């Protein structure tokens, strides 16, 4: 009886160990092979850009019967050049930092830093078509305009400080997705200082 008991215990242990090894091997295989292809990379980039809310500011909106939605014909193309900002009634309150205003499409912003416009991140020449990965990484993780060492710091409300610790793998996926988007020709207006509010 005792022998049968030990026999079962050993067999159970062996199966348990076998399953553990199998799971570990599978996890390792997935980690090594991921992402497998450009299509996978782009898909993962889309997932990251979408869930991290980059469209909130970088994509113009259209009004639908359930409220504002992304204008999917020009994803990530920034504040449209042909949409002017309305005059501001109390400029002093904005300059003093008592209020921050934003365009209803959430693509342009006015505050004590002046006026800023969400950038065109599509692969057009007016967007980030000529950027390399290192530029994208520097812009997103160090807040440098155009990802250049000597570039000015990006203006609010670009939340680059949340992204300082992003891994190269995630950044590469995001960059691959942006480069795979339809290019949109849109020269986003240059930011203006507080005196020009």
Q: Which residues bind ligand HEC (CB under 6 A)?
A: 52-54, 56-58, 109, 116, 118-119, 121, 139-140, 145-146, 154-155, 157-159, 163, 174, 191
Minimum CB separation of residue 113 from ligand HEC in Å reads 9
- Of 26 and 168, CB closest to ligand HEC: 168
**Residues in the chain, how many?**
197
Minimum CB separation of residue 66 from ligand HEC in Å reads 21
CB neighbours of 76 closer than 8 A, spacing ≥ 6? 49, 54, 55, 58, 59, 120, 121, 122, 127, 178, 181, 184
- Of 9 and 182, CB closest to ligand HEC: 182
- Of 16 and 51, CB closest to ligand HEC: 51
Q: Are 108 and 91 in contact (CB under 8 A)?
A: no
Tell me the two tokens of residue 169.
């793998």
Minimum CB separation of residue 82 from ligand HEC in Å reads 18
Rounded to the nearest angstrom, the gap between the alpha carbon of residue 21 and the centroid of all alpha carbons in its chain is 36
- Of 109 and 123, CB closest to ligand HEC: 109
Minimum CB separation of residue 20 from ligand HEC in Å reads 37
The closest alpha carbon to 153, from 182, 197, 113, belongs to 113
């Amino acid at each position: 009886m005792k022998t049968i008991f030990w026999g079962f215990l050993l067999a159970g242990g062996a199966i348990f160990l076998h399953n553990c090894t199998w799971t570990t091997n599978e996890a390792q295989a997935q980690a090594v092979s991921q992402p497998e292809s450009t299509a996978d990379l782009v898909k993962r980039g889309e997932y990251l850009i979408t869930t991290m809310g980059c469209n909130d500011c970088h994509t113009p909106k259209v009004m639908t019967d359930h409220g504002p939605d992304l204008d999917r014909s020009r994803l990530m193309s920034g504040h449209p050049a042909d949409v002017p900002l309305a005059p501001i009634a109390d400029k002093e309150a904005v300059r003093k930092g008592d209020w921050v205003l934003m365009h209803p499409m959430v693509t342009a912003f006015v505050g004590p830093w002046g006026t800023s416009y969400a950038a065109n991140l599509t692969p057009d020449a007016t967007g980030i078509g000529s950027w390399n990965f290192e530029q994208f990484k520097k812009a997103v993780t160090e807040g440098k305009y155009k990802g250049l060492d000597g570039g000015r710091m990006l203006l609010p409300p670009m939340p680059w400080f949340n992204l300082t610790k992003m891994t190269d793998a995630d950044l590469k996926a995001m960059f691959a997705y942006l480069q795979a988007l339809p290019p949109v020709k849109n020269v986003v207006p240059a930011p203006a200082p507080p005196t020009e509010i």
